[in-house]
Amino acid sequence: MIKQLTVFLQNEPGRLRELTGVLSENEINISALSMAETEEYGIIRMIVSDSEKAQTALKEKHFVVKLVDVIGLLIPDVPGKLHHVLELLADEGINVAYMYGYSDNGAARMIMKVSDPQRAEKLLEEIQ
């Protein structure tokens, strides 16, 4: 289980820079980031080196931020492996709300927000 920061930003020039500036000033490293946007706002999802400290620092600067439990998964970067993971979750009635990730050197690192993180984590321990 990993704590993820979810930050809601106004979609305007410089706002993302302000967010990264707060983290930089507090010596918080970003290890994963996903950004989605609409015309009015963006949703930033991040895994950082100190989620509690980051949440406090961002709230002090009036950012809307919350901590969310997500699953970090390392799987082989081969065809069908993600499909297999999703089959296991679906067969157990566990919904995947969103995910993001990347692959490098034969391994895929995935971050997943699921409907039952504790159950999913136990189920997925077997394939790692």
- Reply yes or no on whether the pLDDT at 126 is more than 80: no
Task: State residue 28's pLDDT score.
Answer: 98
Task: State residue 128's pLDDT score.
Answer: 60
Q: Structural domain of residue 108, as residue ranges?
A: 70-125
Task: State residue 44's pLDDT score.
Answer: 96
- Reported as a single tens digit per residue, the pLDDT across 11-69 is 889 999 999 999 999 999 999 999 998 888 899 999 999 999 999 999 999 999 999 99
Confidence of residue 71 (pLDDT cuts 50, 70, 90): very high
Whole-angstrom CA distances from 25 to 46, 61, 83, 104 are: 17, 12, 40, 30
- Reported as a single tens digit per residue, the pLDDT across 79-111 is 999 999 999 999 999 999 999 999 999 999 999
Same domain, 80 and 116: yes
CATH classification at residue 99: 3.30.2130.10
Alpha helices in the chain (DSSP H): 15-25, 51-60, 81-91, 117-125
The owner of tokens 């709300």 is 97
Q: Give the Cα separation of 109 and 76 in Å (integer).
A: 9
User: What is the number of structural domains in the chain?
Assistant: 2
Helix (DSSP H) and strand (DSSP E) numbers for the chain:
4, 6
Same domain, 63 and 75: no
Same domain, 79 and 58: no
Same domain, 61 and 116: no
